[in-house]
Amino acid sequence: MLSRSALTRVARPILRSSSITKCISTTTIRNSDHAAPTLYGEGAKAGTVPTDENQATGLERLQMLGQMEGIDIFLRKPDFSKKGTMASPIMVPSLAETRIIGCTGYPPEDHRTLWYQLKNDGKKARCKECGCG
């Protein structure tokens, strides 16, 4: 059996090797180019007032970048392409459990806007005023 002093003489050079004492910050994950795109602005230069483009972050920045490209990120425009029926309803995509929608009738502006809360359970709903589905 090795004595304690013999064991420490053998272990010291191993513990001092550069591969073991390397910092965690040099891992390939940190240095890789495959990070998710960030939604942060570059910020304002020193001594200037930041604009919305400089300081917007998250969903606000995503919406702003979409508007610059002419894309409606949140699909906020109403669908007037057809009258929704129970056989062919107007689909309202959502990842949430519920979604609030408004009906203005068909043709558009046929009646005042009526607001409904739809559940994401697959059941079809119909407007009580005009019957659109």
Q: How far is CA 7 from CA 19, 20, 25, in A?
A: 20, 18, 31
User: In the numeric block, which tokens belong to residue 48?
Assistant: 């200037």
Answer yes or no: are the C-beta atoms of 43 and 50 closer than 8 Å.
Answer: yes
User: In the numeric block, which tokens belong to residue 23?
Assistant: 């910092």
Count of residues in the chain: 133
23 is in an annotated binding site: no
127 is in an annotated binding site: yes
Answer yes or no: are the C-beta atoms of 103 and 114 closer than 8 Å.
Answer: yes
Q: Which residues are documented as binding site? A: 103, 111, 127, 130
Q: Which residues are documented as binding site for Zn(2+)? A: 103, 111, 127, 130
